[in-house]
Amino acid sequence: MPLAAIIPAPHSPVEIREVSVPDLERDSALLDVELSEVCGTDVHVQAGRLAGVPYPLIPGHVSVGRLSRIRGEFFDVEGRAFREGDWVTFLDVHRTCNACWYCLVAKATTRCPRRKVYGITYGLDDGPSGGWAQQIYLKPGTRCIGLEVEPERFMAGGCALPTALHAVERGEVALADTVLVLGSGPVGINAIILALMRGALRVLCIGAPEHRLDAALQAGACAVLNIESKNEEERLEWILQQTNGRGADVCLEATGAPVAVVQAMRFTRDAGRVVIVGQYTDHGPLSAEAAFNPHLDLNKKHLHVRGCWGSDFSHFYRGTQIISDSSRSAPWSRLQANLSRYDLAHANEALADVASGRVLKALIEPSV
Amino acid sequence: MPLAAIIPAPHSPVEIREVSVPDLERDSALLDVELSEVCGTDVHVQAGRLAGVPYPLIPGHVSVGRLSRIRGEFFDVEGRAFREGDWVTFLDVHRTCNACWYCLVAKATTRCPRRKVYGITYGLDDGPSGGWAQQIYLKPGTRCIGLEVEPERFMAGGCALPTALHAVERGEVALADTVLVLGSGPVGINAIILALMRGALRVLCIGAPEHRLDAALQAGACAVLNIESKNEEERLEWILQQTNGRGADVCLEATGAPVAVVQAMRFTRDAGRVVIVGQYTDHGPLSAEAAFNPHLDLNKKHLHVRGCWGSDFSHFYRGTQIISDSSRSAPWSRLQANLSRYDLAHANEALADVASGRVLKALIEPSV
Amino acid sequence: MPLAAIIPAPHSPVEIREVSVPDLERDSALLDVELSEVCGTDVHVQAGRLAGVPYPLIPGHVSVGRLSRIRGEFFDVEGRAFREGDWVTFLDVHRTCNACWYCLVAKATTRCPRRKVYGITYGLDDGPSGGWAQQIYLKPGTRCIGLEVEPERFMAGGCALPTALHAVERGEVALADTVLVLGSGPVGINAIILALMRGALRVLCIGAPEHRLDAALQAGACAVLNIESKNEEERLEWILQQTNGRGADVCLEATGAPVAVVQAMRFTRDAGRVVIVGQYTDHGPLSAEAAFNPHLDLNKKHLHVRGCWGSDFSHFYRGTQIISDSSRSAPWSRLQANLSRYDLAHANEALADVASGRVLKALIEPSV
Amino acid sequence: MPLAAIIPAPHSPVEIREVSVPDLERDSALLDVELSEVCGTDVHVQAGRLAGVPYPLIPGHVSVGRLSRIRGEFFDVEGRAFREGDWVTFLDVHRTCNACWYCLVAKATTRCPRRKVYGITYGLDDGPSGGWAQQIYLKPGTRCIGLEVEPERFMAGGCALPTALHAVERGEVALADTVLVLGSGPVGINAIILALMRGALRVLCIGAPEHRLDAALQAGACAVLNIESKNEEERLEWILQQTNGRGADVCLEATGAPVAVVQAMRFTRDAGRVVIVGQYTDHGPLSAEAAFNPHLDLNKKHLHVRGCWGSDFSHFYRGTQIISDSSRSAPWSRLQANLSRYDLAHANEALADVASGRVLKALIEPSV
């Protein structure tokens, strides 16, 4: 029986347990996990700040590994059958139903009510379904992609890559745009890389702490500002100085702090685009001091503000194609130096290091 | 010298004065005003709530009348020269420069810094430049459209027509959508008409008072709710009941109340579109009770929120085409019963009636 | 065993046979057909002009009827279970896989290689799977919609309704646009109705014969031209006269004649949109006389030309919502006078009448 | 009086003449030309293949130089006044009127009927208005951009840069797309650079001769095919092999050969996008052998085909920003080795070298 690191309940520390693997259904598979990760969502899950989490659960939504067993058939989107032994990753989102109003009429599959996410909304009762385990049970209909890059390079993007790609796509970054990224966590760093790849001439980043801003510069940001050193007014002034007094063409908010939503709107030029991708957890309503002014911040600015929830297979696929291509993967190679590895026994430490921002990205190696 | 109704300064009552007409520049004209209007913006101008207003000024931004004098040449967009005696209306927006970054790079002409609006940002020093006067001086470059409909029919749309058309266009209403209009003033009523014209299957409206909701029903709304009779929670429940529990596909906010911005987001289905066109005046930041929650109201909803500022010639032209066409004008014909006419001497009364919502739409007849 | 009208092979006349109903799989159903239809595609199928048709087959792709038997569960997109006895229609497209590159990456489900269509690419070997039969076997995953309108009203739209809706959507018809519809068959007539519903100010139609142009006028076209009475040059002149010399804003080509594709481009104004929805069958390459000029007809015109293949559930759902709503269904009510009904025994006559254009729309009543 | 190279009439060789400089109107300027260029359009102008050219004329539409005289004021889009001595380039398009239906309603300024282009539709009668002259008279309203890069680097992009940028924008290249560029002239080469800059994962190019394909590889193409070595069928096979049998996501046609338009459609995957930017001259209708099949090549493919005419200030501005930025200019630096310089006296030779494809890009140095 494989070992797994489990969050038993909100606020409880991670525990190591042996978990049983169910009989494989037809067209399902078992993955021997090589690497998984700890992301901000896992911190929120442990803190009980996410709705719909079926505790106890095994965290770890984006992972890579080897298919150790396949029952029936498992295909990629090209119709090629996987074989046992293949290295793969898989879309953490499962069971968008292709049958409901959101899937078929609104074509908004990330809002499908039946959507499930490995490591977040699948719990221990669903079998080993998170990456902080030696094995994951890949249910029928799981979308795998064959891995053509070393696992660690892929995990330098991890779950932040499709999330950021979705945000950049939704921001409709145009050639020669100036893009402002708020937040210097993994999503922010990936957003910097991808905004540049999509043609932004300059990407600015406001974040913290310093080592993450260094990563932002490595990722290609032309200028960074430490949020801890400047108040909102000074930050606005900094942006305006770099944009002929107008603000950024596109702002990608990836912070986790509600107050950043209003700042994103203020730091963007009139008629620009704001993508909100940093509010994945409920931190409650905006405080009075955030002071959103609908006239000045939205209507008169003629602004586009776009919430960006989850990602779908296209984002995961495109991201995987990019990070696997030697002509494009250099920014992630540079990030590999910022990865910290933990075995299952140190999962609590990994969570703490991510929560504090001490590390940029924490990887879990279940088999060590 | 023509008579005009003038707002001398913020909070001052309207005064009637004789105003002098400047010598006509080359390619300019004089318009004998038949009808102008009082809109919510005029109330804000009189209350000193709008930035950039050069008091004293003659209000009245959308007007119709006859060209009594033309110096040089005046063309419509088809290249046809106007003649003295022609009935016309004109785009109130003047001098978007076609030379600045906003006009040429962002293609966001409603945010051109040199943009001027007759009756709002042109003052008495610019000559008679508002519709509450017997004559308006049409400067070179003013965009006129020949009127092919009786003046009163046209003014049943008035300035609300291009504003609402812009909002409906920006809301990308799709065939068979359910649209929610917040607000039952002239912009809201025109938004109902135009959302239906663009293919909405059902339009719901929340507003007040009762006589405006009657106008909303006349305009084609399939159901209305009096905001004064229900609290936010009850309104949400009302919307959900009519949308299979999801919310509206598109919400057009046209209220003037900051709190409505957050409600617009809540009343809209996940991945839907919200257009904010009702925040033309600065009422200060959102109060604490409005309590915008970036996670629940925006990011998780995967919402599009779009500020919508002003309108450009295309909106004015398309709106004029529609209201002038007998196959499309019926909803505005029905609204004509809701128009109240005032001469210049009763402009203060007109302002008060608009401010209180006692009338749906007030017209000014300067020549009576 | 139900009776069915079958096309045994290309160029063979329709035959009436008894067909056997397979054992119902889990979550499948049987539909007692009330009405099906004969569309242009059926004429092409009988003439052997369509690739991928598995003869022998039962034609009839859009149909209505009553669920006489359900095995397991059958849901609509709202998650409501159907019951035996319910009146329904169903999307003729089945088995877009939600697993391939076209479904998941390109999001172009009408090009999914596994896509199957009842009555066209399902043959007799797949069970009774076309509407020219007393019963249809609805396989698992078939998307049904409960019918809230009398069957004949619904069939006045028929398969042309979602096809035309898709074309109008793809044409991005804007408020006050002038739309030109080429072709006055069922798709053309539905395109007229829907273009007006989406806000076109005027819809022009070029087609034949006269009784179909009468239907076009009933549907709301403001002017029609009989293609048989005018050559291409005269038609162009006619269009230009009605559009200030520019051409239509949007042209929806729904003719079936290859030469119309180039004419559609010429009849459209510079920077306008052309939707090609009338080339569902291979009539071979354009003849030399059609003489497409890439410089004049496409590049210099700065034109958008969009092929439009099939339709998906959203088009079918939106169309069904519209035609079922009393506030919107009037144009189709008027068309009901143009429907011709045939029993199974007269299916060959129905095909001939559709092929010749003698009738606008032929319905099949299998149970008479 | 400055010297200029003049095309006196169609089919006539270029002549050198002294030209007189008119009195400067208010807010106009004189530019001392440093570098101009010879592009394919100039070859067509000399061959009399372009409509609307007012012979005699001075060719050369995109140029750089120094403002030697300014009368009145000359501003950039930021509102900064130029001074005599400033290095600038300028948008060759002049006088899009901002007053006609195409400018104001269709918002398609490249189709404005009053649009004029320096060096193409301005002739000698309009003063020295082409770059093959020691001075150009910049009329009021000419849009200049201050040059922040050495002239030769800028001219490595030249007029092909905004043209290609417009095409890439119109092709809506998405992150990780495979793009196919047809043609390896300056527009094709710039399209390769910009498609990669906008996020294409791989760019393929079909063109000729070999030295231009070398330039295509330098520009970043991952594979090239010499059109002279393969017939259409073999080219299609080559494309399919590199795209999992589907064709390119986006095809940018920049060839000048009408037959390429149909090939562009065939080489593109279903539901992909084709941009036609290579048909700037009338080569007559497609020959019978090109054999465009509306069913197979367009409708069934569900293709987007977009003509792309000219470019506007936004394309020119964004292109100039990019090529002037050291972080983005490397591909053009590499192209500088492919530039050939000619003085005015050798303009005929330059035209011949461009016509034959012997050189990739010919620059004119009028002051040498």
Q: Which chains contact B through at least 3 pairs of Cβ atoms less than 8 Å apart?
A: A, C, D
| Mean pLDDT across B34-53 | 94
Predicted local distance difference test score (pLDDT) of residue A287? 84
Predicted local distance difference test score (pLDDT) of residue A175? 98
Closest residue of chain A to B283, computed from CA coordinates? A295
- Do A60 and A354 contact (CB within 8 A), yes or no? no
Instruction: Please give, rounded to a whole number of angstroms, the shortest distance from the CA of B269 to a CA of chain A.
Output: 10
A-chain CB neighbours of C79 within 8 Å are 100
Which sign, positive or negative, has the C-alpha torsion A240, A243, A249, A253? negative
Looking at every residue in chain A, the average pLDDT score rounds to: 96
| Mean pLDDT across D221-241 | 97
Predicted local distance difference test score (pLDDT) of residue A291? 83
The pLDDT-based confidence of B288 (bands split at 50, 70, 90) is confident
Tens-place pLDDT, residues C211-222: 999 999 999 999
Return d(Cα C80, Cα C67) in angstroms, integer.
15
Predicted local distance difference test score (pLDDT) of residue B290? 79
D123 phi and psi angles, rounded to 5 deg: -110, -170
| Number of Cβ atoms within 10 Å of the Cβ of B18 | 10
Does B108 contact D at CB distance below 8 Å?
no
Predicted local distance difference test score (pLDDT) of residue D168? 98
User: Does the pLDDT at position C289 exceed 80?
Assistant: no
A63 phi and psi angles, rounded to 5 deg: -150, 165
Write out residues 273-332 of B within 8 Å (CB-CB) of C: 317-319, 321-322, 325, 327-328
Predicted local distance difference test score (pLDDT) of residue C291? 83
User: Does the pLDDT at position B368 exceed 90?
Assistant: no
User: Does the pLDDT at position A288 exceed 80?
Assistant: no
| Mean pLDDT across D340-360 | 96
* Subunit contact A286:B307, Cβ cutoff 8 A: no
The enclosing H or E element of B321 equals helix B313-323
| Mean pLDDT across A249-262 | 96
- Using only C-alpha atoms, chain D has a radius of gyration, in whole angstroms, of 20
Predicted local distance difference test score (pLDDT) of residue B287? 83
Q: For chain D, what percent of residues have pLDDT higher than 70?
A: 100
User: Does the pLDDT at position A290 exceed 90?
Assistant: no
Does B168 contact C at CB distance below 8 Å?
yes
Which sign, positive or negative, has the C-alpha torsion C311, D304, B302, A161? positive
Cβ-based neighbours of B169, under 8 Å, separated by 6 or more: B315, C174, C175
Does C334 contact B at CB distance below 8 Å?
no
Predicted local distance difference test score (pLDDT) of residue A289? 76
Return d(Cα C290, Cα C281) in angstroms, integer.
18
Predicted local distance difference test score (pLDDT) of residue A22? 93
Tens-place pLDDT, residues A161-203: 999 999 999 999 999 999 999 999 999 999 999 999 999 999 9
| Number of Cβ atoms within 10 Å of the Cβ of D66 | 16
User: Does the pLDDT at position B323 exceed 90?
Assistant: yes
The one-letter code for the residue type at D147 is L
Question: What single-letter DSSP state applies at residue A185?
Answer: S
Predicted local distance difference test score (pLDDT) of residue D36? 98
Task: Select from D78, D104, D114, D321 the residue whose CB has the most chain B CBs within 10 Å, as the one to mutate to test that interface.
Answer: D104
End-to-end CA distance of chain B: 15
Instruction: Please give, rounded to a whole number of angstroms, the shortest distance from the CA of C153 to a CA of chain A.
Output: 23
Token pair belonging to C188:
């053309």
Tens-place pLDDT, residues B188-219: 999 999 999 999 999 999 999 999 999 999 99
Provide DSSP, C174-193. -TT-EEEEE--SHHHHHHHH
User: Does the pLDDT at position C288 exceed 80?
Assistant: no
Tens-place pLDDT, residues A15-60: 999 999 999 999 999 999 999 999 999 999 999 999 899 999 999 9
Q: Which chains contact D through at least 3 pairs of Cβ atoms less than 8 Å apart?
A: A, B, C
Q: For chain C, what percent of residues have pLDDT higher than 70?
A: 100
Looking at every residue in chain D, the average pLDDT score rounds to: 96
The pLDDT-based confidence of C34 (bands split at 50, 70, 90) is very high
User: Does the pLDDT at position D288 exceed 80?
Assistant: no
Token pair belonging to B322:
């529609």
Looking at every residue in chain B, the average pLDDT score rounds to: 96
Does D100 contact B at CB distance below 8 Å?
yes
- Do D114 and D97 contact (CB within 8 A), yes or no? yes
Return d(Cα B37, Cα B62) in angstroms, integer.
7
Return d(Cα D155, Cα D150) in angstroms, integer.
9
| Mean pLDDT across D129-151 | 97
Return d(Cα A150, Cα A147) in angstroms, integer.
8
Q: What is the 3-state secondary structure (H, E, C) of A6-34?
A: EECCCCCCCEEEECCCCCCCCCEEEEEEE
Q: What is the ipTM of this complex?
A: 0.97
Instruction: Please give, rounded to a whole number of angstroms, the shortest distance from the CA of C64 to a CA of chain B.
Output: 21
Number of residues that this document lists for chain A: 368
Token pair belonging to B277:
């066109």
Q: Pick the residue with more confidence: A1 or A238? A: A238
The residues that bridge with A146 in the sheet, in sequence order, are: A88
User: Does the pLDDT at position C22 exceed 90?
Assistant: yes
Tens-place pLDDT, residues D2-30: 999 999 999 999 999 999 999 999 999 99
C-alpha angle with apex A320: A317 to A326, nearest 5 degrees?
Answer: 140
Cβ-based neighbours of B58, under 8 Å, separated by 6 or more: B4, B5, B6, B7, B19, B119, B124, B128, B129, B130, B131, B132, B133
